[in-house]
Amino acid sequence: MQLLTLLTPKNMSNFDSVVVGGGLIGASIAYGLARSGQRVAMFDEVDNAIRAARGNFGLIWVQGKGANNPYYATWTRQSAKQWPDFSRELKELTGIDLAFEQNGGFDFCLNEVEFADRQIIMEKMTVDSDDEFSYEMLNNSQLKQVLPNIGPAVIGASFSKWDGHVNPLYLLKALHKAFKQLGGKLYINPITDLQHQGKAFQVSTATTNYACEKVILAAGFSNKTLAPKVGLNVPVYPQRGEILVTEKVKPFLHHPTGYVRQTQDGGLLLGDSHEDVGFDEGTNINEIQQIAKRAITIFPYLDSVKIIRAWSSLRILTRDGLPIYDHSESCPGAYALSSHSGVTLAAVHALDVASCIAKGDSLSPSLTCFSAKRFDV
Ligand SMILES: Cc1cc2nc3c(=O)[nH]c(=O)nc-3n(C[C@H](O)[C@H](O)[C@H](O)COP(=O)(O)OP(=O)(O)OC[C@H]3O[C@@H](n4cnc5c(N)ncnc54)[C@H](O)[C@@H]3O)c2cc1C
């Protein structure tokens, strides 16, 4: 800390770590760093900024994740295992109940080809995990016993006990609250520049400079422009997803699914569209119709349920769908993080990644394969 104090002019605040971005990844890391005793500042943008953290579906989803990358599958399961304690810890600290449930999820298949393909994927995940991962394939009549409202057009579904869901807005709120309770400072002021100076960093907003030993880039799409300033590369692109919300109905769906989930207050979220429309956050009536149609095919009962709201949000994607975790070689102490599973991975981000960063270590060797260097080839 001595070096940092020397570098820090009198009018400049200094911190052990600065986290750029207060979305799901930034807030998870900032909370984890504060929990490790670090003096942390988190910088975020104003309410109307582009932010996946406030527009997502809230799944803690394991089945299918990492089917082609066993490291990603293991990492996802590690997070799912830590979720029960993680949500309990946040509730104890903040009083916010995240509406977390982990009683297994269904992924529906609407034709025989989908069903056969799904079984291959699930089997591969089981073999790759040395049987730690498990699943069941259910046909329509088996599904009916668990989900009596299932439609006849659903051929079947995969079920995995590992899947769960949470209210993602409560998660974000709890992370921010817990972070502040542990002494973290939140600034609603975007970072405009970063400089590596000796063994420290100067992080700047339009009005103020801050000094820190470590800087963690978790700024969604802004990582792309900020990362090169500290010798990193974060090639991410937007993919739009739309979500519909229905009126509240009597609880009938007690498990999360890939397309439909019922929240604790009875409303249903319908989703899973994928559109390549750049940074356009508008909604598209054709997509809305497709989402609604598929939901009615799965649960015909929904035909009479009203949709009350729809929104779109942009996924922060890499070309291979895997996360980016990097520690800069040219500017040690600078990290960049990006993932399109910020809800699912919140537990490992807060507990595992943050504690490596707090110690000033490189990220765990099992995360090396998620370096953006893989895109240099
Ligand atoms: C439709 C949809 C459905 C999804 N469903 C799920 C799901 O079911 N389960 C799941 O695990 N994940 C889901 N996700 C993904 C999840 O929401 C993201 O992985 C997660 O929000 C990414 O977190 P992030 O912190 O990288 O980005 P964001 O949450 O977008 O946060 C980035 C933050 O950085 C801030 N920022 C940007 N530039 C700056 C700057 N210069 N200075 C300071 N701050 C800055 C932004 O304002 C923002 O707050 C979904 C995403 C979408 C779009």
- Spell out the domain ranges in the chain: 2-55+169-235+320-375, 105-160, 237-317
Phi, psi (degrees; rounded to nearest 5) at 149: -85, 5
Of the pLDDT bands very low, low, confident and very high (cuts 50, 70, 90), residue 11 is very low
Pocket test for ligand 1, best of 75, 222, 313 (most atoms within 8 A of CB): 222
Structural element, H or E, at residue 327: strand 324-327
CA-CA distance, 309 to 287, in Å (whole number)? 14
pLDDT over 90 percentage in the chain? 92
- Structure confidence at residue 377 (pLDDT): 74
Quick one: which atom of ligand 1 is closest to the CA of 190? 42
Structural element, H or E, at residue 42: strand 40-44
Q: How far is the CA of 343 from the centre of ligand 1 (A)?
A: 9
- Structure confidence at residue 2 (pLDDT): 47
- Going from the C-alpha of 182 to that of each of 90, 149, 187, 350, the distances in angstroms are 12, 46, 15, 14
- Measuring CA to CA, which residue among 40, 59, 48, 68 is closest to residue 350? 40
Average pLDDT, integer, range 25-29? 98
Average pLDDT, integer, range 160-185? 98
The answer, yes or no, to whether residue 71 has pLDDT greater than 80, is yes
- Structure confidence at residue 251 (pLDDT): 96
Average pLDDT, integer, range 22-31? 98
Of the pLDDT bands very low, low, confident and very high (cuts 50, 70, 90), residue 360 is confident
Pocket test for ligand 1, best of 18, 46, 50, 57 (most atoms within 8 A of CB): 57
The structural architecture, per CATH, of the domain 2-55+169-235+320-375 is: 3-Layer(bba) Sandwich (3.50)
Of the pLDDT bands very low, low, confident and very high (cuts 50, 70, 90), residue 158 is very high
- Measuring CA to CA, which residue among 18, 24, 35, 47 is closest to residue 98? 24
Tokens representing 335 are 């990290």
User: Considering only 242-251, 297-306, 314-323, 355-364, which range has the smallest mean pLDDT?
Assistant: 355-364
- Measuring CA to CA, which residue among 221, 267, 259, 256 is closest to residue 242? 259
- Structure confidence at residue 13 (pLDDT): 66
CB atoms within 10 A of CB 118: 22
Residue 226 identity (one-letter amino acid): L
- Measuring CA to CA, which residue among 83, 89, 100, 24 is closest to residue 263? 100
Of the pLDDT bands very low, low, confident and very high (cuts 50, 70, 90), residue 118 is very high
Q: How far is the CA of 237 from the centre of ligand 1 (A)?
A: 12
The answer, yes or no, to whether residue 7 has pLDDT greater than 60, is no
Average pLDDT, integer, range 256-285? 96
Tokens representing 186 are 């939140």
CA-CA distance, 238 to 19, in Å (whole number)? 22
Residue with tokens 């089917």: 67
pTM above 0.85, yes or no: yes
Of the pLDDT bands very low, low, confident and very high (cuts 50, 70, 90), residue 373 is very high
The answer, yes or no, to whether residue 103 has pLDDT greater than 90, is yes
CATH of domain 237-317: 3.30.9.10
- Structure confidence at residue 35 (pLDDT): 97
Q: Which residues line ligand 1 (CB under 6 A)?
A: 20-26, 43-45, 49, 51-53, 55-59, 61, 190-191, 218-220, 222, 241, 243, 313-316, 338-344
The answer, yes or no, to whether residue 85 has pLDDT greater than 70, is yes
Query: CB-hemisphere CA count at 13 Å for 268?
Result: 28
Tokens representing 227 are 């990362």
Of the pLDDT bands very low, low, confident and very high (cuts 50, 70, 90), residue 318 is very high
Average pLDDT, integer, range 357-375? 92
Residue 347 identity (one-letter amino acid): A
Three-state SS for 341? coil
CB atoms within 10 A of CB 161: 17
Average pLDDT, integer, range 291-313? 97
Structure letter (DSSP) for residue 53: G
CB atoms within 10 A of CB 279: 10
Residue with tokens 């073999």: 127
The answer, yes or no, to whether residue 10 has pLDDT greater than 90, is no
The answer, yes or no, to whether residue 12 has pLDDT greater than 70, is no
Give yes or no for a contact between 189 and 88, defined as CB atoms under 8 angstroms apart: no
Q: How far is the CA of 336 from the centre of ligand 1 (A)?
A: 14
Beta strands in 167-303 (DSSP E): 185-188, 193-197, 200-204, 209-217, 237-246, 260-262, 268-270
The answer, yes or no, to whether residue 326 has pLDDT greater than 90, is yes
- Structure confidence at residue 6 (pLDDT): 45
The answer, yes or no, to whether residue 345 has pLDDT greater than 60, is yes
CB atoms within 10 A of CB 285: 8
